[in-house]
A = this chain, B = another copy of it.
């Protein structure tokens, strides 16, 4: 059993292949493992100082957005037309307040815009130019689309342009946390599938699909085959299983089993319940992840 007074953080850097582009190595020294470890450490420090679960998942997600290794924020995969279109969402389990943005091209950290949507828009989901307009009203400065594009992703696009879109995102990032007051929160951010159709929205910005948090259930962030995750409302499904009495690891495993069996989907999920128990599951070859263990140490795995 975990110490109920100890905060908990769990972070993922996307479910996909072991040799995801952007990774120069494998094992715990891989850039993806380093990235999720750094984000988890920073978020855990915040939680230990009494920070809220919502602040912790926003911090972790924004760090992963800024890390060019991951398919979110800077370093996102390009669309069929060679641009970056970003999606993100977050949810506060204490209040069920939620915010999301989709198809945003001119914001450096979409999870910060999603938080502004949660806090001051009166809405839950804003998309496209409407979301950009709200960013400006909220004091979030414009950020050039080409500054979100890394040389690696540009080269990958040039080599593949005109080909079929990738079937799996492979690099969505997410975080779930429980704070010292027992509240949970979740956040998810992505550039979507490589060579996606502009205007395509996957699971990451959708409450219940890529992200869900409810103190009575659990906090969940999903990654993988976005369309399949939407069809089974994966984040809400896994949170509901914890609420029905399953352990967090059991709920994660059952959610991924449903994803595979019902709709043939591939992906992964991270979950933390109100008791502080964390769980992971994925049916892809790898999912970069980091979490705080029962002793408060940050562990990473691919």
Contacts and interface: CB of A to CB of B under 8 A. Distances in A.
Interface stretch (A5-13, A129-137, A289-297): A129-137
B208 A130 contact: no
Interface string A96-139: 11100011000000000000000001111111111101100000
Given A207-B231, A233-B236, A236-B208, A96 B129 contact: no
A274 to B, nearest CB: 15
B207 A125 contact: no
Interface string A176-219: 00000000000000000000011111100011110010000000
Contacts of A133: 197-199
Contacts of A208: 206, 208-209, 230, 233, 236
A226 B98 CA distance: 12
B262 A233 contact: no
Contact of A130 (B130, B131, B199): B199
Contact of A236 (B91, B124, B236): B236
A197 B227 contact: no
A98 B121 CA distance: 28
A50 to B, nearest CB: 26
A18 interface: no
A240 interface: yes
A140 interface: no
A94 interface: no
A263 interface: yes
A232 interface: yes
A232 B240 CA distance: 11
Contact of A207 (B124, B199, B230): B230
Given A96-B262, A96-B263, A201 B233 contact: no
Contact of A231 (B96, B129, B198): B96
Interface in A121-169: 121-131, 133-134, 165
Contacts of A232: 96
B230 A199 contact: no
Interface in A32-74: none
A126 B128 CA distance: 11
Contacts of A130: 103, 197-200
Contacts of A233: 207-208, 212, 233, 236
A176 to B, nearest CB: 17
A197 B127 contact: no
Contacts of A207: 209, 230-231, 233
Contacts of A206: 125, 206, 208
Given A96-B231, A96-B232, A123-B201, 4 more contacts: A96-B263, A102-B127, A126-B197, A130-B199
